[in-house]
């Protein structure tokens, strides 16, 4: 099996599993208790907090642990909604955000908030002129712009957007779930107010995330109780998973410092080059210059992405489509629509995403199997580009 769906989730690193195991067995104690064994657990949480902080250039006390990236996004947006209120504030976001941002914003709009959604250009990058106009026209408010897109891997101009927001007194949150661990993210160089992290996107387990809160920033907790996480997120800490997230952060920091991600980018570029040279009608979507090293977003003329997905799954290659299937009818994703990609091209898209575990042999074998799947599907669809979603061997 060749796994090329690393933007959906990544395999847990063996060293992360090793770091977690003692806290699932021997060191099971509650970190809030007062005896020696609990202090060992409490110190582990502090160490992991420091590891996550180092990865993003933050202070330890600016990092809190959450259950996942979606929780981190919701915590920030709902906190800001309570702080600013709906009477005079404006919510500013992007058209290509993840649903963990778009749906909370829609919920705010439903109860009377003014929500402004900024568009992107043909390469999938935020239109800064629209963002500036939205910020300058706001009496007060807050913004949320992702660091890197989950579907295309395109890196957004977060530094410029953050600067514009600050100039206009607009609080700035970034969903950095697809950026942290894949590219350099430093909250001192890009002074965002809030930043969301998800562990399973960089070889930690599912069910653990983190949230960066700039020191001194106002924050209203969503979960209240025993006052854990500096009072920002109550509940007994998930120690084993926190230890795993810390270890994964340390591994990613080392990989970035040693430019080990260049190998990932090389495999991605190799796959794209071969696909373009060896298959007719291939289009690469999104910016080539501004993107994380882990993602290729590719359209195949006269092929349905859903059909390709099924054939590749049967051939032992795991990827994802560049569009969502809803109630049995394939629709172009909101990301591709925002980029101006045609419905036909959008429905023929695949997201192929890599990790440090992806080898050159995997990459070459995946290309061969994609070539066979495209050929077979085009024969079935008869060159029309429209055919059955389910393709029988």
Residues 194-236: pLDDT tens digits? 999 999 999 999 999 999 999 999 999 999 999 999 999 999 9
The pLDDT value given to residue 387: 47
CATH code for the structural domain at 259-381: 3.90.1150.10
pLDDT of 328 > 50? The answer is no
| Contact indicator for 377, 279 with CB cutoff of 8 Å | no
The pLDDT value given to residue 326: 37
> Can you give the C-alpha Rg of the chain in angstroms?
22
Among the residues of 282-359, which ranges form H helices? 305-314, 334-338, 343-346
Beta bridge partners of 183: 180
Structure token digits, residue 288: 């080539």
Within 10 angstroms of residue 226's Cβ, the number of other Cβ atoms is 11
Average of per-residue pLDDT across 233-247: 98
What are the C-alpha distances in Å from 17 to residues 197, 243, 245?
Answer: 19, 9, 10
CA torsion angle for 60, 62, 68, 71 (degrees, to 10)? 160
Name the region of 374 (left: φ>0; alpha: ψ -120 to 50; beta: rest). alpha
The residue extents of the domains of the chain are 14-256, 259-381
One of 3.40.50.880, 3.30.420.40, 3.40.640.10, 3.20.20.20 is the CATH number of 14-256, namely 3.40.640.10
The pLDDT value given to residue 197: 99
The pLDDT value given to residue 246: 99
> Which residue, among 252, 281, 284, 249, has the nearest Cα to 268 in the 3D structure?
284
Q: Mind listing the pLDDT tens digit for each residue in 41-75? A: 999 999 999 999 999 999 999 999 999 999 999 99
Q: Which pLDDT band, with edges at 50, 70 and 90, does 332 fall under?
A: confident
Among 40-44, 240-244, 321-325, 386-390, which stretch is predicted with the lowest mean pLDDT?
Answer: 386-390
pLDDT of 393 > 60? The answer is no
| Contact indicator for 350, 319 with CB cutoff of 8 Å | yes
Structure token digits, residue 265: 């980018």
| Contact indicator for 240, 102 with CB cutoff of 8 Å | no
Q: What are phi and psi of 136, to 5 degrees?
A: -70, -25
Average of per-residue pLDDT across 278-306: 97
Average of per-residue pLDDT across 6-10: 98
Among 68, 295, 303, 325, the one annotated catalytic = 325
Name the region of 243 (left: φ>0; alpha: ψ -120 to 50; beta: rest). alpha
- 118 in active site: no
Q: Which pLDDT band, with edges at 50, 70 and 90, does 390 fall under?
A: very low
Q: Which pLDDT band, with edges at 50, 70 and 90, does 34 fall under?
A: confident
| Contact indicator for 7, 178 with CB cutoff of 8 Å | yes
> Which residue, among 298, 248, 304, has the nearest Cα to 268 in the 3D structure?
298
| Contact indicator for 98, 73 with CB cutoff of 8 Å | yes
Q: Mind listing the pLDDT tens digit for each residue in 358-373? A: 999 999 999 999 999 9
| Contact indicator for 127, 118 with CB cutoff of 8 Å | yes
Whole-angstrom Cα distance, residue 55 to residue 181?
A: 8
Average of per-residue pLDDT across 4-14: 98
């Amino acid at each position: 099996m060749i796994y090329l769906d690393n933007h959906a989730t990544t395999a847990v690193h063996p060293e992360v599993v090793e770091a977690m195991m003692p806290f699932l067995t021997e060191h099971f104690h509650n970190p809030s208790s007062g005896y020696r064994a609990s202090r060992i657990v409490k110190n582990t949480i502090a160490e992991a907090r420091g590891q996550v902080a180092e990865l993003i250039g933050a202070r330890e006390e600016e990092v809190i642990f959450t259950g996942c990236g979606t929780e981190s996004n919701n915590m920030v947006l709902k906190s800001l909604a309570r702080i600013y209120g709906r009477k005079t504030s404006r919510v500013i976001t992007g058209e290509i955000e993840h649903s963990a941002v778009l749906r909370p914003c829609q919920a705010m709009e439903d109860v009377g908030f003014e929500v402004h959604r900024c568009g992107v250009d043909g390469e999938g990058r935020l239109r800064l002129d629209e963002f500036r106009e939205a910020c300058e026209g706001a009496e007060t408010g807050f913004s949320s712009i992702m660091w890197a897109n989950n579907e295309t891997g395109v890196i957004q101009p977060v530094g410029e957007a953050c600067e514009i927001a600050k100039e206009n007194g607009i609080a700035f949150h970034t969903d950095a779930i697809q950026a942290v661990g894949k590219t350099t993210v430093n909250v001192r160089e890009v002074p965002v107010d809030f930043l969301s992290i998800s562990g399973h996107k960089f070889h930690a387990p599912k069910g653990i995330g983190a949230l960066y809160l700039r020191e001194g920033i106002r924050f209203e907790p969503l979960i209240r109780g025993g006052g854990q996480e500096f009072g920002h997120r109550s509940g007994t800490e998930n120690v084993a998973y926190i230890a795993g997230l810390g270890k994964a952060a340390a591994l990613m920091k080392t990989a970035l410092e040693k430019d080990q991600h260049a190998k990932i980018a090389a495999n991605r570029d190799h796959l794209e080059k071969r696909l373009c040279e060896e298959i007719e009608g291939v289009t690469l979507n999104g910016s080539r210059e501004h993107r994380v090293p882990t993602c290729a977003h590719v359209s195949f003329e006269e092929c349905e992405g859903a059909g390709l997905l099924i054939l590749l799954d049967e051939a032992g290659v795991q990827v994802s489509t560049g569009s969502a299937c809803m109630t049995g009818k394939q629709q172009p994703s909101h990301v591709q629509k925002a980029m101006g990609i045609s419905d036909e091209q959008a429905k023929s898209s695949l997201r192929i995403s890599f990790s440090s575990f992806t080898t050159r042999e995997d990459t070459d074998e995946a290309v061969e199997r994609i070539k066979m799947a495209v050929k077979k599907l085009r024969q079935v669809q008869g060159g029309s580009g429209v055919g059955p979603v389910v393709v029988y061997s």
